[in-house]
Amino acid sequence: MQNLVTCQYETKIAGLCRHITITWLKTSTGQGLSVTIDDPSCQYTCKVKLKPWSFWKRRGTKSFEVCGRKVEVFWDLLSAKYAFGPEPQEGYFVAVICNGDVVLLLGDKNEEAYRQTKTKPSVIEATLISRKEHVFGKKHFSTKAQFGETGKAHDIVIECQTTAPKPPYLCITVDKQLLVQVKNLEWKFRGNQTVQVDGTPVEVFWDVHNWIFNSAGGRPSNANAIFMFQACAGVEEGSPAKKTNAVNWSGNLNGNISLMKLAGTRSLKLATNMSNLNGSFLMLHAWRNE
């Protein structure tokens, strides 16, 4: 079960590029949603916390100002359907409006969103920069992801064995096709490999150090592992995928602190390797339920 999904988008508000972060939360008491707008021009962050587990809060609006600009958040979760985790799959919309412009629209109820907000479709669509999920399981961890600006959502399943008596190994499948297989995981607990998904090169990173070395005596670790998936921007489709089971440690070390903080890992070398990639990426924090 997932309990937290965070998506960061880049859009334009009043002609300036800004980031909007959408966080879906699921707890033992219900579900929640937060919207954060970060304005780099004045270092201002505004958070809107919505807790739609009460029926009367499943539809509403809230407004605030970002550097003198009126921003409105509309949400309608009355008919939202959930497959698993905190993020609805259909029957909902979340819209962020600034001066009559739709700067971000999520969900599948577009017509309803435009009717309630009294707006029209925006000329410029928001761009997904990153998606971070917390996933839970014993041995298998699954999610969905879309690589590239267009295309279908793919089923990703991670299988990781790290406890005795079996030797540790890692397998990652996309749409039931085995793309990454790592044996001798005790020596290759961090690494990366480029795979092809629908003709798009995707760089896969893994860091299961905590699972390997915090599971002494066969006891499962309560720490998390990190998995990252990034479509390789600037690489032509159909080009051969370069495969490797060891991280390339070379590169510029500057500017990686934010990546490390985002990843929740102390692996500076892993962050360094990611700094050479562009475009949106998916990050999974995998936790074990034992």
Confidence band of 217 (pLDDT split at 50, 70, 90): low
The domain ranges of the chain are 4-125, 131-288
Instruction: Give the pLDDT confidence score for residue 66 in this predicted structure.
Output: 80
Residue range 10-52, pLDDT digits in tens: 998 877 888 899 999 877 766 778 888 887 666 556 666 655 5
Confidence band of 256 (pLDDT split at 50, 70, 90): very low
Residue bearing tokens 């979760």: 77
User: With a threshold of 0.85, does the pTM exceed it?
Assistant: no
The whole-number average pLDDT for the span 235-240 is 44
Q: Give the C-alpha separation, 280 to 165, whole Å.
A: 38
Q: Give the C-alpha separation, 161 to 211, whole Å.
A: 9
Task: Report percent pLDDT > 70 for the chain.
Answer: 71
Residue range 119-145, pLDDT digits in tens: 988 777 888 888 999 888 888 998 888
The more confident residue out of 194 and 66 is 194
The more confident residue out of 15 and 55 is 15
Across all residues in the chain, what is the average pLDDT? Answer: 77
SS (HEC) of the chain: CCCEEEEEEEEEECCEEEEEEEEEEEECCEEEEEEEEEECCCCEEEEEEECCCCHHHCEEEEEEEECCEEEEEEEECCCCECCCCCCCCECCEEEEEECCEEEEEEECCHHHHHHHHCCCCCCCCCEEEEEEEEEEECCEEEEEECCCCCCCCEEEEEEEECCCCCCCEEEEEECCEEEEEECCCCCCCEEEEEEEECCEEEEEEEECHHHHHCCHHHCCCCCCEEEEEEECCCCCCCCCCCCCCCCCCCCCCCCCHHHHHHHCCCCHHHHHHHCCCCCCEEEEEEEECC
The more confident residue out of 232 and 203 is 203
Instruction: Give the pLDDT confidence score for residue 193 in this predicted structure.
Output: 92
